Structure 1
Amino acid sequence: MSTITLLATLDQAYLPRLQVLLTSIAVNQTDTSVELYLLHSRIPEKNLTPVARQCQILGFSFFPIQIPESSFADAPVTRTYPKEMYYRLLAPHLLPGHVHRILYLDPDTLVINPLRPLWDTDLDGNLFAAAAHTGKTELANSINQLRLGTDHNYFNSGVLLMDLDSGRSEIIPEDIFRFVREHGKELLLPDQDILNCLYGNRILELDDAVWNYDARNYNNYLIRSSGTCTMDWVMSTTSILHFCGKSKPWHSGYIHRFGILYKHYMQLTRRLGFSPE
């Protein structure tokens, strides 16, 4: 089987979250090799050592890439729009040319079943595969369509399967920078809004209940599936849990039911000697 190639883009504060994610991948994706590319701007090399050590022990290949400040000299950059927000969309231009396909995962995701079926998905000529958090009990999708003037579902950018070869010819950095200059004040979730506005018609839609399950919305999934998406179903079928929103399971007071599962992987990561904070 081919190697699964993963992408993370984060700052130093999220390195412990990446370590928990890596543990969850190692536990649930045991039949193939994994390599991880990390795009960052200012993480000191010494702070990457725990991740490098974990990858070595797990048998993953690790390729951290520090992006030079000069790479985004022409990009609109503010506190609201830091240069890091561009990394996942511009990954085709930031990663080595021999990398042809990559799976981006937000560091606040958890893998609880194999990734292989997603990795092997035929993109059918699309630039990306992604999921939209839709359903008759959720209004955000329709609101975002109206807000952005799009005619497709509003895709979440936390899980993205990317065709890098097509992206190198079709994703033009200046197009993205120009869009931000012209519409920056209208963007609520900047990189996600950019993805939907510029490339929403080039996205293969995935089943969010399997590949980008919003961990806050168990009851919504249960209702919209007419009772199919029970806890047993999630544990056997869902591959990626996404802890969306400001409330996170590593913080005290997290109220949603999958928080205990995240804490289990945190403890397992510690037990393996990787010690996430």
Structure 2
Amino acid sequence: MDTIPLLVSLDQAYLPQLQVLLTSLYWNNPGEQFAIYLLHSGIPAPALAPVVRQCEHLAYQFHPIFVEDRLFADAPTTKQYPKEMYYRLLAGSLLPRQLNRILYLDPDILVINPLRPLWEMDLEGRLFAAAAHTGKTDLANQVNRVRLGTDHDYYNSGVLLMNLEACRREISTDHIFRFVAEHERELLLPDQDILNALYGSRILPLDDAVWNYDARNYNTYRIASGGIYDMKWVMQHTAILHFCGKAKPWKPGYLYRFGGLYLHYAHLTSQYFGMEEF
């Protein structure tokens, strides 16, 4: 089987979460080979050392890629809109040219079932495949359509199957920078808003219950499915659990249902790969 390339983009503070993600990936994708590409703006080598050792232990390739500040000299940036927000959207120009597709994952994710079916999905010529989180009602989608002037669902940018060849042809840094400069006050989740406003019509929709399950919304999924999407269903069918929002399972006081599962993988990471427990 071919090696599956995965893209992450984060700062030093999220390296422990990356290690937990890698542990869950390994446990639930037996026999798969992964190449991990990390876009970063200056994580020192000593801080990366635990991830390097873990990838060596798992027999995963690890490719940290330093993104130079000069590449974003013309980018509108503020404390709210740091340069890192552009990395996943401009991955086509930042990653090696021999890569023609890649799977991007946010670091606040557990992989609990195989990723190959997603990796092998036909993108039908689209730029991305992504899932929308409609939540308890479709109100959020309606608000975002009006806010961004779109007619499609509001896609979450935390899981993206990326057609890098098409991205290199169709995504322009100038276009993105100009959009941000013109709409700075309107952007609530900047990189996600940019994805939806500029490229939402070029996205292949994914089933979020399988490929980008919002870990806060177990009851919503269960009720909306008429009881089908219960805990057993999630464990058997959901591939990607995404811990969206400000509440995180590695922080004190996390109340949502899958917090214990996250801490289980954190404990495995500590036990086998030397990460300090949260």
Scaled by the length of structure 2, the TM-score of the pair is 0.98
**2-side partners of 1:207 and 1:18: how far apart?**
24
Deviation string 1:123-182 (CA, Å, 9 cap, x unpaired) is 001000000012663532222112111100000000000010111111111100000000
1:84 offset after TM fit, Å? 0.2
Which amino acid in 2 is paired with 1:156? N
**2-side partners of 1:187 and 1:142: how far apart?**
16
Deviation string 1:161-218 (CA, Å, 9 cap, x unpaired) is 0010111111111100000000011000000000000000000000000000000000
Corresponding position of 2:73 = 73
**2-side partners of 1:32 and 1:176: how far apart?**
35
Instruction: Please list, as runs of the form range in 1=range in 2, the aligned pairs for 1:146-157 lying within 5 A after superposition.
Output: 146-157=146-157
**2-side partners of 1:187 and 1:155: how far apart?**
15
Corresponding position of 1:87 = 87
The Cα RMSD (Å) is: 1.0
| 1:135–1:224 Cα contact (<8 Å) kept | no
Which deviates more, 143-152 or 107-116?
143-152
Corresponding position of 2:120 = 120
Corresponding position of 1:197 = 197
**2-side partners of 1:275 and 1:32: how far apart?**
23
**2-side partners of 1:18 and 1:209: how far apart?**
22
1:71 offset after TM fit, Å? 0.8
- Structure 2 residue ranges without an equivalent (≥5): none
Alignment of 1:37 with 2:31, yes or no, is no
Corresponding position of 2:181 = 181
Q: Give the match's secondary structure for 1:88.
A: coil
1:31 offset after TM fit, Å? 2.5
Which amino acid in 2 is paired with 1:133? H
**1-side partners of 2:227 and 2:139: how far apart?**
20
Q: Give the match's secondary structure for 2:125.
A: coil
Q: Give the match's secondary structure for 2:35.
A: strand
Which amino acid in 1 is paired with 2:234? V
Alignment of 1:55 with 2:55, yes or no, is yes
Q: Give the match's secondary structure for 1:183.
A: helix
Corresponding position of 2:267 = 267
Q: Give the match's secondary structure for 1:74.
A: coil
1:234 offset after TM fit, Å? 0.2
Q: Give the match's secondary structure for 1:272.
A: helix
Which amino acid in 1 is paired with 2:103? L
**Identity over aligned residues, as a percent?**
65
| 2:135–2:217 Cα contact (<8 Å) kept | no
Corresponding position of 1:22 = 22
Alignment of 1:105 with 2:105, yes or no, is yes
| 2:8–2:37 Cα contact (<8 Å) kept | yes
1:56 offset after TM fit, Å? 0.4
Alignment of 1:224 with 2:224, yes or no, is yes
Q: Give the match's secondary structure for 2:162.
A: strand
Scaled by the length of structure 1, the TM-score of the pair is 0.98
**1-side partners of 2:19 and 2:39: how far apart?**
15
Alignment of 1:234 with 2:230, yes or no, is no
Which amino acid in 2 is paired with 1:99? L
1:273 offset after TM fit, Å? 2.5
Alignment of 1:166 with 2:166, yes or no, is yes
1:32 offset after TM fit, Å? 1.8
1:30 offset after TM fit, Å? 1.2
Which amino acid in 2 is paired with 1:211? W
**1-side partners of 2:121 and 2:115: how far apart?**
10
**2-side partners of 1:44 and 1:142: how far apart?**
43
Deviation string 1:213-242 (CA, Å, 9 cap, x unpaired) is 000000110111111100000000000000
Q: Give the match's secondary structure for 1:36.
A: strand
**1-side partners of 2:231 and 2:146: how far apart?**
33
Q: Give the match's secondary structure for 2:273.
A: coil
